[in-house]
Amino acid sequence: MKAILDMRMARYLLGLLGVGAVGAAVLLLVFLRPLPVEVVPPSEDVPIQVFGLGTVEARVLSKVGFEVGGALVELNVDHGDRVTEGDVLARIHAAEQEARLAKASAGVVNAEAAVERAQAAEGRARVVLERKQEANERNQTLLARQAVSVETADDSQMERDVAVAELAVASSDVEVANAALEDARAQHELERVLLDHHVLRAPYDGIVVERLKEAGAVLNSGETLFTVVAPETVWVLAHVDEARSGRIQVGQPAEVRLRSLREQNFHGRVARVAIESDRVSEERRVYVACDHCPESFHLGEQAEVFITTAVLDRALLVPETAVEAFDGLRGTVWTVEDGDLQRREVAFANRTLDSRLEIVGGLPEGARVVAALPSGLRVGRAARLVEEERP
């Protein structure tokens, strides 16, 4: 009986030893064999782009209307029409102002006639003065010879002085008449300008994008009737995250993708970077002008903008998912050094749109950066390199 028990115990112990051996083999295979890891290769000619979402806008957009109120009597353009600077877009009822202009014209004619009368009176007074002057000179000469009486000489001198005064009055009347003429002409010009305010003209070459009233409607002074844009000033207003916008500058190349034409990319350049950012959304407004945008545009259409801020000739880029404790500037990556796994704190600079970070410091010479973090990573463990495939 005892022999049988001993045999069973021996078999049990042998089984335990076998299981232990298998477990040890598995542990050695899992933890001691080289761990295959994917590493990132250096990249060349890498564009660093910033993404912005925005809308199609126009730099030159005018909401035009009459400077005076009145009823619309003529409309010459509608939505989508092209206009040339100075074209008549619309007119409002102007009979009352036309009457004022006619009255002002009559006032100019009256003032011109008054000037002519005053000038004629001045000429008459000048002739009279010349006659009186000659008569006075003769009488004064005769008085010296005692050929005429003193009373006659005095009367001649008085008449000459009166003629001088009358000429002065006539000259003043001419000045007054000229001033009245200038006032009448100014009033006429004012009424003409006010009449011109009853005609609405195109401020520049452009396209009418909106008409808000129809014929017969009564407009108030300054009320918008048309919206006109200059098509050559159409651009895209993109909203860019402030954290990504620090290196955006005027003149940098950009690509625009319109929502209605997603299969096409339109090339352009940064035309303006707004000085003031949005305090609520924490975004910067960037304006991109297309080099060859489609001729047909739709203000307010959504657009995607990709701005190239730099092109890296050669860079080491690691996926952001492979970085631990990333704070925007620094983080920890796994590396393969002399065949073993290590952890290194490195510094980053640029970030690509596909969430890869450029490593600019912290790597020892010859270290390879792990592109993905598989299970089993352990400092000092042997590793087998697998190059990351990138298009």
Digitized pLDDT (tens) for each residue of the chain, 391 residues in all: 555 555 666 565 666 665 555 554 444 444 567 889 999 999 999 999 999 999 999 999 999 999 999 999 999 999 999 999 999 999 999 999 999 999 999 999 999 999 999 999 889 888 888 888 888 777 777 777 777 777 777 777 888 888 888 889 988 999 999 999 999 999 999 999 999 999 999 999 999 999 999 999 999 999 999 999 999 999 999 999 998 898 999 999 999 999 999 888 999 999 999 999 999 999 999 999 988 778 788 999 999 999 999 999 999 999 999 999 998 899 999 999 998 999 999 999 999 999 999 999 999 998 999 998 888 889 999 988 876 544 4
Record: fold of 68-92+204-228: OB fold (Dihydrolipoamide Acetyltransferase, E2P) (2.40.50)
- Two domains, one topology: 50-59+230-311 and 68-92+204-228: no
User: How confident is the model at residue 4, as a pLDDT?
Assistant: 59
User: How confident is the model at residue 126, as a pLDDT?
Assistant: 87
Structure tokens at 145: 């010879």
Structure tokens at 264: 């096409």
Q: CATH number of the domain at 50-59+230-311, out of 2.40.30.170, 3.30.460.80, 3.40.50.300, 3.30.2320.20?
A: 2.40.30.170
User: How confident is the model at residue 198, as a pLDDT?
Assistant: 94
Structure tokens at 363: 């790597």
Q: What are phi and psi of 16, to 5 degrees?
A: -65, -40
Tell me the β-bridge partners of 210.
227
Determine the angle formed by the axes of helices 95-144 and 150-196, rounding to 10 degrees: 160
User: How confident is the model at residue 19, as a pLDDT?
Assistant: 55
344 and 364 in contact (C-beta within 8 Å)?
Answer: yes
User: How confident is the model at residue 11, as a pLDDT?
Assistant: 64
User: How confident is the model at residue 26, as a pLDDT?
Assistant: 45
This prediction has a pTM of 0.70
Structure tokens at 90: 């619309």
User: How confident is the model at residue 194, as a pLDDT?
Assistant: 92
User: How confident is the model at residue 13, as a pLDDT?
Assistant: 60
Question: What string of H, E and C letters represents the secondary structure of the chain?
Answer: CHHHHHHHHHHHHHHHHHHHHHHHHHHHHHHHCCEEEEECCCEEEEEEEEEEEEEEEECCEEEECCCCCEEEEEECCCCCCEECCCCEEEEECCHHHHHHHHHHHHHHHHHHHHHHHHHHHHHHHHHHHHHHHHHHHHHHHHHHCCCCCHHHHHHHHHHHHHHHHHHHHHHHHHHHHHHHHHHHHHHHHHHHHHHHCCEEECCCCEEEEEECCCCCCEECCCCCCEEEECHHHEEEEEEEEHHHCCCCCCCCEEEEEEHHHCCCCEEEEEEEECCCCECCCCEEEEEEEECCCCCCCCCCCEEEEEEEEEEEEEECEEEHHHCECCCCCEEEEEEEECCEEEEEEEEEEEECCCCEEEEEECCCCCCEEECCCCCCCCCCCEEEEEECCCC
* Domain boundaries, given as residue ranges, for the chain: 50-59+230-311, 68-92+204-228, 95-196
